[in-house]
Structure 1
């Protein structure tokens, strides 16, 4: 019996090492994520693009890795990276729970999370915090798979869950806001501004941020090993210190 258990443990370890070895030697990684312009999106020519995508592709290129990509709903991204079916995602905030199953790169930018509303509500909404507006019964569209800080996770998701409307797409969230189907939209302020301009929507972004946080690339522990992360971070750190306009 002991020999059988030892065999099972050995085979499990070998399977894990094999999956990591494949990721190390196949010289390509797969990324997946929800379209999130300007950081990640698909062009009219059906090609992946975006600031985060291009940075990831360039850093991997310096390590002689190719990058394959696919656009996926946020919930499938979470499932697939945990299983090692995709190797890396862009624009990830660090959390202890995520770190159990994933490696994180050094941070490569900061993001400011805030909320937006229709300008017609300026007199009613401007100057109020998100919590004040939620207390007043306002609804909030967001990607519930995102991370918006400890306060949001511990307070908003617990006390105001009935007022949170999950929508995967930035475009849908902003369209819901414009049509009056939700009162507020929560996101990175650059994402809100960029997409509102693309959709020709007039929005007002609150000057009371919900959270300011570092952003990382997040790698699956099922398919990437720590040695690769060290190499990746070395190249990425050089870029963060001295950005190359060519990237």
Structure 2
């Protein structure tokens, strides 16, 4: 049973937690380090996933992960096949169909490319496109108005790659010239490859470089299905989320 029954609104937060008898089902669309990823058979971790677990555990509930493709995720959330998505940006259209949590982190969109004579960390994405460069991006994602305008202006120069490791592999193989994604995720991937875009090490130390350009800056939310979760549940979730966010956490995403 995933649907929270309506009479829970009559109780305090502690009583609400005691009444929770079901798991909260979250969709998993593939590794998105450092936020949500699989590291074993049915085992998951990541900054966002850990936060979600802390909040749901405080409510007396459990998290269950349902793997599915990204293309199916938003469709199935609307149908009530699962309860929550991680890392959602706000749009008025989604707000009409889904419940939003409080914002739980700030997302900044950036661009990464090879550090060479043509590109360094001061190179804007527009320059890469004006030079005929090809950009790898998850075409189903939203990366802000600047990227949307560039995609409309240079439609043939944006190619799809769902996962960030896939796009970085395309970059390493010379199939594309730049990768657009969340800066924290780009930073994490670069550290994993033992290369860095950190200015303190100097451009000469890098094979790949994370541009200084911030393409988009927005808040990130958990997104709930209105078919399986009611407003009382979201209110309780936000209460515990606010408490969790007030506690210090460690982060390894210092590439800015």
Query: Structure 1 length as normaliser, TM-score?
Result: 0.83
User: Which residue is equivalent to 2:36?
Assistant: 40
2:85 to 83, 89, 100: 89
After superposition, the Cα gap between the structure-2 partners of 1:61 and 1:178, relative to the gap in structure 1 and judged at 3 Å, is same
Q: Give the match's secondary structure for 1:223.
A: coil
Does the 8 Å CA contact 1:73/1:168 hold for their aligned counterparts? no
Rounded to whole Å, the distance in 1 between the matches of 2:185 and 2:208 is 12
Q: 1:65 aligns with which of 58, 61, 68?
A: 61
Structure 1: runs of 5+ lacking an equivalent: 1-17
> 2:2·2:24 contact (CA, 8 Å) conserved in 1?
no
Alignment of 1:113-124 (within 5 A): 113-119=109-115, 121=116, 123-124=117-118
Q: Secondary structure at the match of 2:40?
A: coil
Structure 1 residues 118 and 190, CA, compared in 2 at 3 Å: closer, same or farther? same
Contact 1:117–1:203 under 8 Å retained in 2: yes
Question: Alignment length, in residue pairs?
Answer: 225
Q: 1:183, 1:26 → 2: CA distance?
A: 50
What is aligned with 1:186? 180
What do you get for the CA RMSD once the two structures are aligned? 2.3
Post-superposition offset of 1:222: 2.1
Contact 1:113 1:188 in 2 (8 A): yes
Match of 1:133 among 125, 128, 134: 128
Q: Please state which structure has a larger fraction of its residues in helix.
A: 1
Q: Report the equivalent of 1:221.
A: 226
Which range is displaced more, 100-109 or 24-33?
A: 24-33
Structure 1, 70-79 or 161-170: larger mean CA deviation: 70-79
State whether residues 55 and 237 of structure 2, in contact with CA within 8 Å, keep that contact through their aligned partners in structure 1.
yes
| Paired position in structure 2 for 1:157 | 151
Alpha-carbon spacing, 1:19–1:47, altered in 2? closer, same or farther (3 Å) = closer
* CA deviation vs aligned residue, 1:54-77 (integer Å, no higher than 9, x gap): 110110111111101134332121
Which residue matches 1:234?
Answer: 239
Q: Name the SS for the 2:64 alignment partner.
A: strand
1:54 equivalent among 47, 50, 57: 50
3-state SS of 1:234 partner:
helix
1:27 is matched with which residue: 9, 22, 31? 22
TM-score by length of 2: 0.80
C-alpha displacement of 1:44: 3.3
* 8 A contact 2:111–2:179 mirrored in 1: yes
Match of 2:168 among 167, 174, 177: 174
CA–CA separation in structure 1 for the residues paired with 2:237 and 2:243: 10
Superimposed CA distance per residue, residues 158-193 of structure 1 (whole angstroms, 9 cap, x where no aligned partner): 222221111111110111111111110011112112
Tell me: CA distance 1:183–1:135, structure 2 relative to 1, closer, same or farther (3 Å). same
Aligned partner of residue 218 in structure 1, secondary structure: strand
Q: 5+ residue gaps in structure 2?
A: 9-19, 196-206, 251-256
Equivalent residue number for residue 12 of structure 2: none
